[in-house]
Amino acid sequence: MRKIAWIAFFSSALISCLGQTGTKAIALRCGSVFDGRGDSLRANVVIVIEAGKIKALTASAPDGAEVIDLAHHTCLPGLIDTHTHILLQGDITAADYDEQLLKQSPEYRTILATVNARRALEYGFTSIRDLETEGAGYADADVKKAINNGIIPGPRMQVATRALDVTGAYPLQGYAPNVSVPHGVQLVDGADNARQAVREQISHGADWIKVYSDRSYRVREDGVLDDIPTFTLDELRAIVDEAHRERHKVASHAMALNGVHNSVEAGVDTIEHGNYIADEDLKTMAARGIFYVPTIFVGEYVAQGRAAEGAPVWVKMIQIHEDTFRRAMKAGVKIAFGTDAGGFDWKINPAKEFSSMVKFGMTPAQAIRSATVTAAELLGMQDSLGTIEPGKLADIVAVPADPLADVSAMEKMDFVMKAGVVYRKP
């Protein structure tokens, strides 16, 4: 508690003291820079920032600039987490989830979400894609608005609002038929109803449409992770068609064989989790530029708890996931960094995902690029984010070590700047 209070005080102090950039140039004197354009570091670079944007990379600070000394740090592009839930405080077990939906009001959950948004920023995530509120309505759109209006500190957000699933497929479940309980999604059945829900969510601020494409996992004898698909292909196609018609994109929670296959066939833009993906579907994903957001760390984190609750399949999934991840790399699928933070407690640093990706076969540089260049492309913001180069928004972070030598350095965030405003300083 005490630590949280201190962080909160520290942050608001930073916002008020450091948050005023004005028109004066800022010069970040970086010991080294990972600019995201290549796989190596450049030593002794000064990044010049003006009016929230990167103006130049030079050898010395221009006259009159405010110099920030990061000589013992590695500067990197602001990190992007493409799969978060700021309205959730961890849900290892069904009971954790029920507790939040039954005993916490959406208003209380929104207050907690503002704290999580601040945490995300302090961990170095200057942009996030928040993939649904888990029963808290359109609260994510309001948190985003409060951040954009400078009311609270937080990352740049793209939001999915309520997400979609079919009747009988998403918690809360298991209550008597005569008891009506809230659900973590908007329930829709039938292609026309699904189209209407997409229109509704977009009209209330959804940047992305999130669908849950499968449930009820089991490992077949041949080692394939099987599932029950939720939507029919017809329904999924209607959702994707409607979203795309309105120039919005679709993220699909798809963990296993059929959910992934139907999603890819329907033409979604991103596959979330993807613990098992058939080779044919990986090929299609690579050809059509469908992103894979593997969320590895959360799978390991929830596995033991869910196994203890009687679902040992979650432990078996880890090995299947690693095999899929390695096949996806070989197939040339675009892999974007995403953590499912909120699925685990926000007090745990989501940057642990970097180590998980390296354990599954990426180099540290590849893992960092997945959270910068590739993730910026997933957001459709590659022209303004993802690398450190002149003209881009000044989203810059720094860690006090070489993350290419040991990627766990990404968990030691010391400096965070978003659009030229400093939120954390060594």
Interface residues with Zn ion (CB under 5 A) are 340
Quick check: 43 and 74 in contact, CB under 8 A? no
* Residue with smaller CB distance to Zn ion, 344 or 423: 344
Q: How many CA atoms lie within 13 A of 151 on its CB side?
A: 11
**Mind spelling out the 3-state secondary structure of 288-348?**
HCCEEECCHHHHHHHHHHHHHCCCCHHHHHHHHHHHHHHHHHHHCCCECCCCCECCECCCC
* Residue with smaller CB distance to Zn ion, 252 or 262: 252
Shortest Cβ 189–Zn ion spacing (Å):
22
* β 214-219/225-229 pair status: antiparallel
Shortest Cβ 419–Zn ion spacing (Å):
26
Buried b (16+ CB within 10 A) or exposed e, 205-218: ebbbbbbbbbbebe
Shortest Cβ 262–Zn ion spacing (Å):
18
* Residue with smaller CB distance to Zn ion, 32 or 84: 84
- Strand order from edge to edge, sheet including 270-273: 186-187, 164-165, 208-212, 249-254, 270-273, 291-293
Of 108, 36, 40, nearest to 78 (Cα)?
A: 36
**Rounded distance between C-alpha atoms, residue 51 and residue 54, angstroms:** 8
* Residue with smaller CB distance to Zn ion, 85 or 118: 85
Residue nearest to Zn ion (CB): 340
**Rounded distance between C-alpha atoms, residue 302 and residue 275, angstroms:** 14
* Residue with smaller CB distance to Zn ion, 293 or 398: 293
Shortest Cβ 343–Zn ion spacing (Å):
5
Helix, strand or coil, per DSSP, at residue 80: strand
* Residue with smaller CB distance to Zn ion, 211 or 243: 211
Shortest Cβ 77–Zn ion spacing (Å):
24
Shortest Cβ 234–Zn ion spacing (Å):
25
Torsion angle, alpha carbons of 205, 208, 214, 216, to 10:
-60
* Residue with smaller CB distance to Zn ion, 50 or 340: 340
Shortest Cβ 359–Zn ion spacing (Å):
21
